[in-house]
Amino acid sequence: AQTVTQSQPEMSVQEAETVTLSCTYDTSESNYYLFWYKQPPSRQMILVIRQEAYKQQNATENRFSVNFQKAAKSFSLKISDSQLGDTAMYFCAFMKPSFSNAGGTSYGKLTFGQGTILTVHP
16 touches another protein (CB under 8 A):
no
Asked whether the beta carbons of 62 and 79 are under 8 A apart, the reply is no
- 3-state secondary structure string across 18-87: CEEECCEEECCCCCCEEEEEEECCCCCCEEEEEEECCCCCCCEECCEEEEEECCCCEEEEEECCCCHHHC
- Longest Cα–Cα distance in the chain: 51
> Binding pattern to another protein, positions 28-67, x when CB under 8 A?
-----x-x-x----xxxx-x--x-x---------------
Smallest distance, another protein to C-beta of residue 114, A:
5
88 touches another protein (CB under 8 A):
no
Q: Which of 10, 29, 106, 121 binds another protein (CB under 8 A)?
A: 106
Interface residues with another protein (CB under 8 A) are 4, 33, 35, 37, 42-45, 47, 50, 52, 91, 95, 97, 99, 101, 105-115
